[in-house]
A = this chain, B = another copy of it.
Amino acid sequence: MPRILRVAAAQTGPIQKADSRERTLARLIALLERAAADGARLVVFPELAFTTFFPRWYFADEAELLPYFERAMPNPAVQPLFDRARALGVGFYVGYAELTPDGHRFNSAVLVAPDGAIVGKYRKVHLPGSVEPRPGQRYQQLEKRYFEYGDLGFPAFRAPASLAGGVLGMLICNDRRWPEGWRVLGLQGVELVCVGYNSAAYDPNGGDSEDAGLRTFHSQLAAQANAYMNATWAVAVAKAGNEDGSGLIGGSCIVDPNGRIVAETRTLDDEVVVADCDLDLCRQGKEKMFNFAAHRRPQWYGPITGQVGVVEPAEQGRTVG
């Protein structure tokens, strides 16, 4: 029996700092309903989907920061999304800022089954940005200040039959550029990886020359190649557009296990695209080209876990042929 899971990439347009929580939640529910009407059984929302990308702002006062965080998932403010998904029989991935009961903060995502049960949680490992605000700059990237590094590793989850019984994994934003996270998921036999992101379309402070076209290319290239090299589907979903003067790329896409984009968004606004993901399409790659048990040679991968940064080779040494 083919294991086909119709998946939706539910991209959102910008969420401004001044937008109310209620207004944003209503937009997410509208996207969910559109995806369900298109027959999707799993809807992938962006990273930090309930609010603006607040790490661009420096809050000297923690009282300004904490309202962006969720103290439980679900909680009364987001419950209408969970209720609507359950009523429609649709599962979803959603990113949010997590505040634990004992005061730890993470950039997190949950995977929710169509019956409302939480299948798994992930906390972002590859936090970009800096701890200290960059002086004199209007826009910051303070993820390393506002969040702790994820402490759950890269777990994959066996989804229920309502999600085709697939092996599902989660990454968040910058994680998608790091092959290590994908590989740890691949080593668990992952068949579909959900990734939400908020990625700058340009340097809002004018610091480098990468434009939105190049950055969108980077985003898709990373998702495509890592999907291919792990023989998995991938669904990468943006929060896009202009948030309070800072641009975010779109380019949300659904990628097959050959690394081909099978559906992608065309706007920088709220938009849904869907694709039928046949999880059995992963099998050829996993059994042949990327049969890890047959072909991997971990004894030569030591530096990947044994060192963090670069160690350059010594000044020109010559070996004997």
Contacts and interface: CB of A to CB of B under 8 A. Distances in A.
A121 B225 contact: no
Nearest to A302: B305
Interface in A200-222: 208, 210, 214, 217-218, 221-222
Interface in A266-302: 284, 286, 288-298, 300-302
A295 B222 contact: no
Contacts of A286: 310
A140 interface: no
A214 B258 contact: yes
With most chain B CB atoms within 10 A of its CB, the pick from A225, A316, A317 is: A225
Contacts of A45: none
A117 interface: yes
A72 B293 contact: no
B315 A307 contact: no
Nearest to A153: B300
Contact of A308 (B155, B298, B320): B298
B304 A184 contact: yes
Contacts of A30: none
A320 B118 contact: yes
Given A153-B300, A158-B315, A293 B309 contact: yes
B315 A296 contact: no
With most chain B CB atoms within 10 A of its CB, the pick from A165, A311, A319 is: A319
A158 B312 CA distance: 8
A133 interface: no
Interface of A: 72-74, 110, 117-121, 125-128, 149-150, 153-160, 165, 167, 174, 177-184, 186-189, 208, 210, 214, 217-218, 221-222, 224-226, 228-229, 258-260, 284, 286, 288-298, 300-321
Given A154-B300, A188-B311, A188-B312, 15 more contacts: A117-B318, A119-B318, A126-B296, A127-B295, A157-B316, A158-B314, A179-B182, A183-B301, A187-B307, A210-B258, A217-B258, A221-B221, A221-B224, A298-B308, A301-B304
9 contacts: A74-B321, A117-B318, A159-B316, A178-B296, A183-B301, A183-B304, A188-B303, A188-B313, A217-B259
